[in-house]
Amino acid sequence: MRKNIWIIVGAWACFSACRSVQAPQLIGGNKDEHGCLTAAGYTWSELRRDCIRIFEDGVRVDDPSLQPSLASYAVFAADSSRVEVFRPSPFRNEILDRKGGVWQGKTCKLYRTGNRWELRGK
């Protein structure tokens, strides 16, 4: 009788060791159409052609068209000839070209005033 119990226990141990283990699903693993991990704060930059974190790679700019609780950011090209402006909805991101000391686009301009960056509508 004891021998049968040990055979059953041994068979159970062998079969339970063979069951497949499912990998846990990652929380916050959603990616956008460019493959950027949005839950980790990454967004696509057309200027850099890469996923970036705008709050790390960009500089905060004053945007009088926004509520005080919202923020706009600017990400500069390596040579500062162009800048991509990231604004919250309903605005779209826009790439501005440098013309002298001002970066200009279709809907806005970026100025440096003292220690601050200011975004103004055209």
19-43 burial, b if ≥16 CB within 10 A, otherwise e? eeeeeeeeeeeeeeeeebbeeeebb
Sheet with 108-113, strands from edge to edge, namely 59-61, 72-76, 82-86, 94-99, 102-104, 108-113, 116-121
What is the model's pLDDT at position 67? 84
5: pLDDT strictly greater than 80: no
Mean pLDDT estimate for the chain: 85
Q: State pLDDT tens for residues 27-52.
A: 567 888 889 998 999 999 999 999 99
10 vs 65, which has greater pLDDT? 65
24: pLDDT strictly greater than 60: no
Strands (E), the chain: 43-45, 50-52, 59-61, 72-76, 82-86, 94-99, 102-104, 108-113, 116-121
pTM for this one?
Answer: 0.72
78 pLDDT band, cuts 50/70/90, is very high
Residue 14: what are its φ and ψ, rounded to 5°? -65, -45
Domain boundaries, the chain: 29-121
